[in-house]
Amino acid sequence: MDDGVVNRPYPLAAERVILLFVLLGVAGAVYLAALNLPVPAWMTVVVSLPLAYVVWATVGERIAGVVQLRHRDR
């Protein structure tokens, strides 16, 4: 293994906090939508789960790329 390659814990604390805020934001948006739409709340949640997953995965992938670049440049 190359000396420049070091195993680092992932995700770092800041990334965990960012992902938590993203999850809370998506959950809050789903909750507000469920309150305001004229359909049952459970239906709003079921329909929005794929959207929540896409947002979560996209943000997680972006953060993973930033962390990888930051570690590479050290």
* 21-60 pLDDT per residue, tens: 887 887 788 778 777 878 887 887 787 788 778 877 787 7
pLDDT at 30: 75
Residue 8 CB coordination number (10 Å): 11
19 within some domain: yes
Q: Two tokens at 66?
A: 């930033």
Helix locations, 1-74, DSSP H: 13-36, 41-72
pLDDT at 60: 73
Instruction: Dump pLDDT digits (tens) for 6-19.
Output: 555 555 677 778 87
21 within some domain: yes
Task: State how far the Cα of 13 lies from the Cα of 54, in Å rounded to an integer.
Answer: 22
Instruction: Note if the pTM is more than 0.95.
Output: no
**What does DSSP assign to residue 4?**
T
Name the domain count of the chain: 1
Q: Tokens 């992938």 — which residue?
A: 61
Domain that holds residue 46: 13-72
1 within some domain: no
